């Protein structure tokens, strides 16, 4: 199989999968020159998802001049970029503003978590009732990117950490492979270290968990390992989750256990303890550290959930802050997010990985301008903020704005589809490319247009 | 696998055409074959430019393996991260005048090897983090006018060495990274003592109905059994029913996750109700008194 190394080349035309044998030499060269013009900078992608709907006011779009019943309790702070302000509880991230392109004018129409999360992660409006793992669903951003990226043998194309998304026990649609097929479902891995978010429920604990047991390193034969996995899976039979393609997971798990790059990456004990300390001793920080290690090991796409996995009616540490918004943001959510994400950006930069790694900030929607009677902010898809860093994105800029109340786009309104088109472009993927679903129907991967963030 | 083999040669054919002009009489097939035998990947960026990478699949690459690498003069990106190369091997890179991006991080390369890079004037990106470079090695880079990014985190370079190079190459970004010892020291500094927890009032059972729990915000309840007897802990649910949670031994403590506005009942082992606590808006202590 070592003869096949060229098949694993990652760039441009090699990625296009065109059978070279059928091409004449002139058409080969014309293709080369076209391929050369794409020149994507990003090779890997880390998606940071703040599940529940992160308030734009208390993160990237503070409104200090709004009336007091809208602007909230927190003050803005200056960032490293003149003219850009963040919430005062993101002091570390404020130092990284030169790496960040903030989009303050994104909006959509979906006020429910499931729908908001679906449009944010797939870039397509939900049609009809959504159900997790339905093969007719649109593939998630991570699945779609992984479709265009070759991973080495034994390395998953896309991994998600450390939980799947649930709302009151219901598994959400939108973070799977959809019509690309189950082999594009990102592989769930549970981060091996760090204080968990509070409010992790029995639902997220019940999931099939590909936690790699490092103590079992002596298992070197694949058959023995598969038997081991079978007995683990057998215990999960009462689970309400249906794993339609268990074979795929079993093979992947076996390959990961036996293949050293991912296994080594997973072992956070191998990381310098000072670097681990930089990310913070929390499952969020340790998940972002693991994301970096997985990308280094050649995994093309990693998604990390910066929140408890289940919204659990607003209980626990997630961004669905309908009540007690300000203390929860200040004490629980923003400090962990600030430290972890800042550490990731610092670490990617000092290793020279930032220009090849696209970091994506996504959430369901923003929060309402008005603070409700429980001291919370409710769902608000009318306008909110997302961001990009690295991967050839020009930092230190803000695209678009919200109006003075933070209620609607003020200038340059854009959609999740436009944001996705930007991400695809950064990854060297033509956002308007067509793929075929499992019934052979042509599907245009994205209906948006790239934002000028490069 | 004959079909794979055939496919590879079909792939290689254009590379042969492409590269023979620059390589001259050397047989490009054998060069690429040699690179691939060491785990390297050769890919085409455009009609003129090649990318050669060993970092994921060719970590065993040593100085001898660099001989073949040095013959692909069209290489613009070369990734040797995490390989076994040393200073001596870098002599083979001297002819790669098209190189724009070079990864030498996490190798044992040091100043003597870096001396071989001083004529690679097209270099824009040079990654040397966690290598053995010192200020002396920085001195070999002063004429690389196209260099825009240099990574020297976790190396032997000093502030004054970096300043000197910065003066010579003002448009170069030199990334020194964080001081990990400082990071570790900060992390080791004891965190501010948390606010002392509010102590909830013990409500002795007097026969009146227990308040039902409301659904509220998440919080933690720290229970301490100060009595000389084991007790049982019940949650009073939303309908007023009792749900058993745990036993707490004499002198023992328990961290209980709960919500604001929740009622927790303490009973003895025979289920005689003793008293209850009602959570408020913050994490709190609940002290189970002596009997």
Q: Answer whether A14 sits within 8 Å of B47, measured CB to CB.
A: no
Residue A325 belongs to some domain of the structure: yes
Residue ranges of B 188-217 with Cβ closer than 8 A to chain A: 188, 215-217
Determine, yes or no, domain membership for A273: yes
DSSP bridge pairs for B126: B102, B150
Whether residue A68 lies inside any domain: the answer is yes
Is residue A64 domain-resident? yes
In the structure encoding, which two tokens stand for residue B23, read together? 């390589």
Minimum distance, in Å, between the CA of residue A325 and any CA atom of chain B: 10
**Residue B275 in tokens:** 């008293």
Cβ atoms B75, B100 nearer than 8 A:
no
Q: How far is A298 from chain B (nearest CA, A)?
A: 7
Provide the token pair at B70: 């040095």
B203-204 and B273-278 beta bridge pairing: antiparallel
Which domain covers residue A421, as residue numbers? 50-196+264-444
Q: Measured between alpha carbons, how far is B170 from A79 in angstroms, rounded to an integer? A: 24
Q: Kindly tell me if the per-residue pLDDT of A305 is higher than 80.
A: yes
> What's the pLDDT band for A75 if we cut at 50, 70, 90?
very high
Closest CA to A430 of A41, A29, A38, A14: A38
In our burial notation (b when 16+ CB lie closer than 10 A, e otherwise), range A66-76 reads: beeebbbebeb
Asked whether A123 and A419 are in contact (CB, 8 A), the reply is: yes
Residues of B in contact with A7 (CB under 8 A): 7, 11
Residues in chain B: 291
Residues A386-426 pLDDT 10s: 999 999 999 999 999 999 999 999 999 999 999 999 999 99
3-state secondary structure of B178: coil
The domain total for chain A is 1
In degrees, rounded to 5, the angle at the alpha carbon of residue A401 between the alpha carbons of residues A396 and A407 is 140
Higher pLDDT, A363 or A200: A363
Is there a domain that residue A57 lies in? yes
Q: Are strands A366-367 and A379-380 parallel, antiparallel or unpaired?
A: antiparallel
Give percent helix, percent strand, percent coil of chain A, each to the nearest 5. 40, 15, 45
Answer whether residue A87 is part of any domain.
yes
Select the residue of B7, B14, B49 nearest A28 (Cβ to Cβ).
B14
Q: What confidence category does residue A203 fall into, taking pLDDT thresholds of 50, 70 and 90?
A: low
Chain A residue nearest residue B32, CA to CA: A6
Give the max Cα distance, chain B: 101
Query: Could you say which of B46, B105, B186 has the minimum Cβ distance to residue A352?
Result: B105
Higher pLDDT, A253 or A330: A330
Question: Interface pTM (ipTM) of the complex?
Answer: 0.82
What mean pLDDT is predicted for residues A173-194? 88
Question: Which tens digits make up the pLDDT trace of A219-250?
Answer: 455 566 666 655 554 444 434 343 444 556 66
- Please determine, for residue A209, whether its predicted confidence score (pLDDT) is greater than 70: no
Q: Which residue of A has its CA nearest to B81?
A: A296
What's the pLDDT at A328?
A: 93
Distance CA A332, CA A317 (A): 7
Which has the higher per-residue pLDDT, A89 or B8?
A89
Taken in order of first residue, the domains within chain B and their CATH numbers are 2-179 (3.80.10.10), 198-288 (2.60.40.780)
**pLDDT at position A201, please?**
64
DSSP H helices in A53-137: 68-71, 91-94, 113-122
User: Sheet of B173-175: strands edge to edge?
Assistant: B41-44, B50-53, B75-79, B101-103, B125-127, B149-151, B173-175
Asked if B80 and B107 touch (Cβ cutoff 8 Å), the reply is yes
Global confidence as pTM: 0.80
- A210: in domain: no
Residues in chain A with CB shorter than 8 Å from the CB of B188 are 277
3-state helix, strand, coil in chain B (%, to 5): 25, 25, 45
Pair of tokens at residue A117: 């999360």
Q: Which residues pair with A304 in a beta bridge?
A: A48, A161
Residue-level pLDDT at B229: 94
Q: Is the pLDDT of residue A294 over 60?
A: yes
Burial label for A95, CB within 10 Å (0-12, 13-18, 19+), is middle
CATH number for the domain spanning A164: value is: 3.40.720.10
pLDDT at A149: 85
Cβ pair A4:B56 closer than 8 A: no
Which residues in chain B are closer than 8 Å to A261, comparing Cβ atoms?
56
Alpha-helix runs per DSSP H in chain B: 2-23, 28-37, 66-69, 111-114, 135-139, 159-168, 180-188
A104 three-class SS: strand
- Residue A249 is predicted with a pLDDT of 64
Q: Is B3 near chain A, with CB under 8 Å? A: no
What integer pLDDT is reported at residue A256 of this predicted model? Answer: 66
């Amino acid at each position: 199989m070592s003869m096949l190394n060229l098949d694993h080349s990652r760039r441009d035309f090699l990625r296009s999968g065109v059978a070279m044998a059928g091409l004449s030499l002139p058409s080969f060269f014309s293709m080369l020159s076209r391929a050369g013009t794409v020149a994507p900078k990003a090779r890997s992608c880390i998606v940071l998802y703040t599940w529940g709907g992160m308030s734009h006011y208390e993160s990237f779009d503070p409104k200090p001049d709004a009336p007091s019943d809208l602007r909230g309790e927190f003050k803005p702070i200056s960032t490293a970029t003149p003219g850009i302000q963040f919430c005062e509880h993101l002091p570390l991230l404020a130092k990284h503003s030169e790496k960040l392109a903030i989009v303050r004018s994104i909006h959509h129409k979906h006020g429910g978590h499931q729908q908001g999360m679906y449009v944010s992660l797939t870039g397509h409006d939900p049609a009809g009732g959504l159900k997790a793992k339905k093969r007719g669903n649109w593939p998630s951003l991570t699945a779609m990117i992984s479709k265009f990226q070759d991973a080495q043998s034994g390395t998953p194309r896309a991994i998600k950490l450390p939980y799947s998304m649930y709302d009151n026990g219901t598994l959400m649609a939108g973070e799977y492979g959809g019509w690309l097929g189950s082999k594009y479902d990102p592989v769930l891995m549970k981060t091996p270290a760090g204080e968990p978010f509070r409010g992790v429920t029995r639902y997220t604990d019940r999931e099939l968990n590909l936690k790699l047991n490092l103590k079992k390193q002596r298992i070197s034969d694949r058959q023995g390992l598969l038997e081991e996995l079978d007995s683990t899976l057998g215990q999960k039979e009462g689970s309400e989750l249906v794993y339609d393609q268990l074979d795929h997971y079993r093979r992947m798990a076996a390959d990961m256990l036996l293949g050293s790059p991912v296994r080594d990456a997973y072992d956070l004990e191998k990381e310098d303890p000072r670097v681990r300390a930089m990310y913070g001793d929390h499952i969020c920080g340790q998940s972002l550290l693991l994301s970096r290690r997985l990308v280094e090991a050649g995994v093309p796409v990693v998604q990390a959930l910066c929140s408890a996995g289940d919204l659990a009616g607003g209980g626990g540490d997630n961004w669905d802050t309908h009540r007690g918004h300000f203390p929860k943001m200040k004490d629980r959510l923003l400090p962990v997010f600030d430290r972890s994400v800042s550490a990731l950006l610092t670490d990617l930069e000092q290793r020279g990985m930032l220009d090849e790694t696209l970091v994506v900030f996504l959430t369901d929607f923003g929060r309402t301008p008005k603070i409700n009677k429980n001291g919370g902010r409710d769902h608000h898809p009318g306008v909110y903020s997302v961001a990009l860093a690295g991967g050839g994105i020009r930092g230190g800029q803000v695209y678009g704005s919200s109006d003075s109340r933070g209620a609607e786009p003020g200038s340059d309104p854009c959609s999740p589809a436009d944001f996705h088109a930007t991400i695809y472009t950064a990854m060297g993927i033509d956002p308007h490319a067509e793929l075929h679903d499992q019934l052979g129907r042509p599907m245009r991967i994205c209906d948006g247009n790239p934002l000028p963030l490069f | 696998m004959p079909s794979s083999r055939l496919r590879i040669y079909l792939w290689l054919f254009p590379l042969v055409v492409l590269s023979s002009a620059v390589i001259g009489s050397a047989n490009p097939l054998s060069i690429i074959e040699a690179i691939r035998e060491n785990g390297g990947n050769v890919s085409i960026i455009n009609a003129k430019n090649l990318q050669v990478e060993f970092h994921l699949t060719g970590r065993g690459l040593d100085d001898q393996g660099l001989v073949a690498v040095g013959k692909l003069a069209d290489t613009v990106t070369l990734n040797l991260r995490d390989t076994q190369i040393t200073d001596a091997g870098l002599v083979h890179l001297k002819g790669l005048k098209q190189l724009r991006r070079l990864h030498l991080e996490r190798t044992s390369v040091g100043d003597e090897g870096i001396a071989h890079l001083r004529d690679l004037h097209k270099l824009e990106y040079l990654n040397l983090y966690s290598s053995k470079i010192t200020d002396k090695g920085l001195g070999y880079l002063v004429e690389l006018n196209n260099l825009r990014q240099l990574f020297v985190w976790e190396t032997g370079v000093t502030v004054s060495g970096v300043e000197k190079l910065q003066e010579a190459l003002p448009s170069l970004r030199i990334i020194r990274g964080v001081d990990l010892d400082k990071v570790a020291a900060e992390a080791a500094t004891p965190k501010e003592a948390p606010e002392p927890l509010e102590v909830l009032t013990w409500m002795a059972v007097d026969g009146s109905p227990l308040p039902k729990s409301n659904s509220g915000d998440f919080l933690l309840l720290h229970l301490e059994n100060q009595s000389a007897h084991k007790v049982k802990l019940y949650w009073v649910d939303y309908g007023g029913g009792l749900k058993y949670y745990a036993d707490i031994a004499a002198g023992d403590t328990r961290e209980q996750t709960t919500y604001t506005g929740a009622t927790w009942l303490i009973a003895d082992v025979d289920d005689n109700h003793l008293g209850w606590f009602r959570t408020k808006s913050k994490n709190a202590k609940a002290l189970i008194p002596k009997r």
